[in-house]
Structure 1
Amino acid sequence: MAAAALLFSACSAGDSETPAEGSLVIGALINISGPTTTGEENAPDVLKGWAKNINKSGGLNGRQVAFDIVDTKGDAPKATAAVSRWSSDKSIVAVVLYDASTEGAVAEAVTAAGLPVIGGIGYNPTAWGKLPNWLPIATTFPAVINMGMRIGKEGGATKTVFPVCAENSSCAAAGPLAESASRALGMTFDGVLPVSVSAPDYTAECLKIKNDGVDFVMLGLTTAASLRLVQTCKTQGYAGQWGLFDGSVWPKVMKQNDPGVKIGIALSAFPWYVDDKPVVDYRNQMDQAGVPADSWASPQGTAAYATMELFKKAVTASGLPDKATRADVVKAYGSVRGETLGGLLPQPITFKPGQPQALVNCFWLASYERGEFSGTELSKPTCDNIKP
């Protein structure tokens, strides 16, 4: 493969090789090995697999694509140091972000460097929808909270609760949004339920959920802790509904901790398991590139792929000069008008150069049970109409 021309950093250290002359180099800040990763570790494999296939076929307009991947470990100083390095490295023409914990810390520096953010998780409201040239392609905050409550509404729930991690007070910060969404959808909100992710037993929490008459639990814990709560409550005879949403939908961990209970899910990026042609093409490309299924069969994986497919479309449509700059990439994205990538994006995307971009408030509702994901149609995402 054309790997010699690629810039794939040693993810654990952030080191990199020199890219080939004229490569389009994209910086990637990704929480690969930090203590709070929720599947972001899946993005690098998909980015690399996409680039491998593109470069084998001649690149984009004859240009190789390279990534400078930095494992932030969820650490703001480490992420900030990478952005500082990129600021003066003019070979870096764009950035992707897969680290919810450092988005806010690097936002101003990324923007000051003139770096367009062409994709990422889309959580921090001080960056996405606020700063110029930050382009979300997956469901953004606050719709990521609203879509969790939408699972309960679709299942006919009447009373909801929102378990969150007890170890960090900031985990409850989304509580008011969860309450607002629940009430707007016509459901009673039983409150935020602090739960220690390291607790050996969740019997007390389950009994409270059961005794309070809650019939929908919107899980806001880590994926593994959420599933332990489901398993414990199943043992206690709880028969209500469960919901996992956005970054908590981590298929590998879900299968490792399967409670044998149906769980509603809300996906912020396209479903990897449906048989629509664009998704079949995705799976085939990932298999051809040797990307592990644990990486591509995930919302983080599909978000990374959709990001790069949109990059390909923008660059191919407009072309770039031989010595492309960040401004040239921003200009190229100006050709993106009402784009859905054949259904891979949850809603039509339009890029307005030099301006804050519209937030993404659409998503896919589906379900998980006994190792299998099912439901939803690629062409029929659900769109949030709850106002913050």
Structure 2
Amino acid sequence: MPVIRGRSALRMSGAAVAVMLLASACGGGDGQGSSAKARPKVAAPKGTPIVIGSVGHFSGFAGATSKSSPDAVSAWAQWTNDNGGINGHPVKVVVKDDQADPAKSLAAVKSLVEQDKVIALVGSHEAGLESVWEKYAAGKGIPVLGGSSNSTAFETNPLFFPTAQTGANYVALWTNAAKLAGHDKVGAIGCAEVPACQNLFSLVKSAAPKSGVTFAAGLAISASAPSYTSQCLSLRGKGVEAVITATSQEVTNRFVSDCAKQGYKPLFMIPGQSYQPDVAENPAYEGAYLANDSFDWFADDAAAKQFRETMSVYSPDSPLNTSATAGWASAVMFGKALAEATSAPPTSADVIKGLLARPAKDTLDGMIPPTTYHEGKPATVAACGWYAQIKGGKLTAPHGTKAICLA
């Protein structure tokens, strides 16, 4: 069973999930990876560069984890260029930080398209801001490939190609974690400061029956509260056995600690996008589950090993979490889409053609949920995800590292 030390169908609001993940993201993942060094194997590509862009909230509150997505795209691009590029063309990645500001997000995408001449957006990690620029991108014929695919655009826009789990299924994967761990009554905590965090409660209530569990309580908690003892006791009084966390990691840490002081130690369920190394080292998180929307970075299969090796060489300081694996999967998918392109250099139309030619229920060698891209219609993504559990200060895979699908 792979382990890694913690060292370093319902329709839902995509914005709610995005804000929920933004709230829980603030810190690093595990930088552990292969020490093998990738080396150029062929002459450097000399064709016209293929330019791709990535936009998102890559600084401040959520930047420490969300930036892993474009970091992975850049690592893939460097590895690709060191191995001949795509049909002799080097790949150039332009990253824009929108600081979670809608106006800056739209301006960033316009700049990428009009000035940098990108042919695709790859590995973006927005906070639900895709809505401010999705029509613009579609009007320009620019395909959008992952990374984080939780926004509604990936469920409704034919030019958005998810390479990770979509929002329609993600909360159901969390409730399924409770079922896998043998618990029945599920609760949730959400940041009181952001209404979208609290929208999680209705989403969990809707998702719970799909996993065969019961939603028992949802509590909005404030980051400024001096103690969460009363909330812990409230959840315990309602028989909550498993708690979904949709708060900042700092608040979650205090909440977990306060509950432990009261002898209340439910199963905590954490987004894999915001996994931090100190979580596994905290005894209060013993037994906690991660519900992952992208493949487990610590798996021992060939695809995960190549991901870790490449990251260790080209982006060694980037935290490893599902923000990173979602970005990586989007970059690999982009490369696959252009494998047979004949234009020199390739165009956005070539990318779209290549994506639509992918097989139905494509898993990209186990890196994405079974996904089918459709011409003129949104993609279809199976309700499958990956799970991990903290045991003895380690991140483990008690159910294996292959995707598990809801019945």
Normalised TM-score (structure 2): 0.82
Return the alpha-carbon distance in structure 2 between the equivalents of residues 87 and 225 of structure 1.
38
Structure 1 63/173 Cα, relative in aligned 2: closer, same or farther at 3 Å? same
Matches within 5 A, 1:7-18: none
The 1:22–1:367 alpha-carbon spacing in structure 2 relative to 1, beyond 3 Å, is same
Q: 1:41 to 1:197 in 2, by over 3 A?
A: farther
Deviates more, 1:358-367 or 1:202-211: 358-367
Task: Give the SS at the match of 2:167.
Answer: coil
- How do 1:143-292 and structure 2 match up within 5 A? 143-247=169-273, 249-252=274-277, 254-255=279-280, 259-292=284-317
Aligned counterpart, 1:121: 148
Name the residue aligned to 1:309: 332
Measured against aligned partners, the alpha-carbon deviations of 1:44-72 in whole angstroms (never above 9, x if no partner) come to 32222111111111101111011110011
Q: Which residue of 2 aligns with 1:333?
A: 355
Q: CA RMSD in A?
A: 2.1
Q: Which residue of 2 aligns with 1:112?
A: 139
Distance 2:260 2:314 in 1: 40
1:50 matches 2:76? yes
Distance 1:311 1:116, change over 3 A: same
Matches within 5 A, 1:68-83: 68-83=94-109
**Aligned residue identity for 2:203:** L
Offset at 1:370?
5.1
What's the counterpart of residue 4 of structure 1?
none
Cα distance 1:307–1:258, how it changes in 2: closer, same or farther (>3 A)? farther
Change (3 A) 1:173 1:235: same
Alignment of 1:373-384 (within 5 A): 373-375=395-397, 376-378=399-401, 380-384=402-406
Q: Higher relative contact order at CA 8 Å, sep ≥6: structure 1 or structure 2?
A: 2
Q: Which runs of 5+ in 2 are unaligned?
A: 1-45
The code of the aligned residue for 1:270 comes to F
TM-score normalised per structure 1:
0.86
Distance of 2:278 and 2:56 partners within structure 1: 19
- Compute the displacement of 1:33 (Å): 0.8
Note the C-alpha offset of 1:21: 6.6
Q: Which runs of 5+ in 1 are unaligned?
A: 1-19
**Structure 1 CA distance for aligned equivalents of residues 64 and 257 of structure 2:** 20
Q: 1:220 to 1:337 in 2, by over 3 A?
A: same
CA shift in 2, pair 1:39/1:282, >3 Å: same
Determine if the alignment matches structure 1 residue 40 to structure 2 residue 34.
Answer: no
Instruction: Classify 1:203/1:33 alpha carbon distance in 2 versus 1 (closer, same or farther; 3 Å).
Output: same
Equivalent pair of 1:333/1:353 in contact (CA under 8 Å): no
